[in-house]
Amino acid sequence: MHTITTDPNSVVLAGDLLDWGNTKVGQLRTLLLAAAGLMAIAAVLTAWWRTKSWVGTLVAFLLAALVLWGIANMNVLKTKVGSEVDDAGAVTVVQITDNAARAENGLV
């Protein structure tokens, strides 16, 4: 654990702070994934307890697995969505500045 001192002769490097920040973000991501996993288990058990049906429980399990996969692979989903947005065609915008043309098009 790094401690920041008030000694004027000591230097705190930005790399240490960035490493600390990256470590905390990784720990938070792990904690959130674990919490989501526990909520998924609770949802599947609740579905089984309420329905007593293997079909309903299987559907709840598949949905929980899909949500957990989406949370765990957010970077993959972000890349796929970003590439599809980037591949979309360009939008053409026409701006009419002439009042006579605006009147012809019923925009006045």
Closest CA to 33 of 79, 67, 77: 67
Q: What is the pLDDT of residues 3-62, one digit of tens each?
A: 555 666 776 667 778 888 899 999 999 999 999 999 999 999 999 999 999 999 999 999
Residue 40 contacts residue 69 (beta carbons within 8 Å): no
Structure tokens at 106: 């019923």
Measured CA to CA, the distance from residue 22 to residue 28 in angstroms comes to 10
Domain boundary assignment for the chain: 14-104
Alpha helices in the chain (DSSP H): 14-51, 54-72, 74-87, 99-104
Model-level pTM greater than 0.85? no
Q: What is the pLDDT of residue 107?
A: 64
CA distance 108 to 104: 9
Instruction: Express each pLDDT in 64-101 by its tens digit.
Output: 999 999 989 888 888 877 776 666 666 666 666 667 66
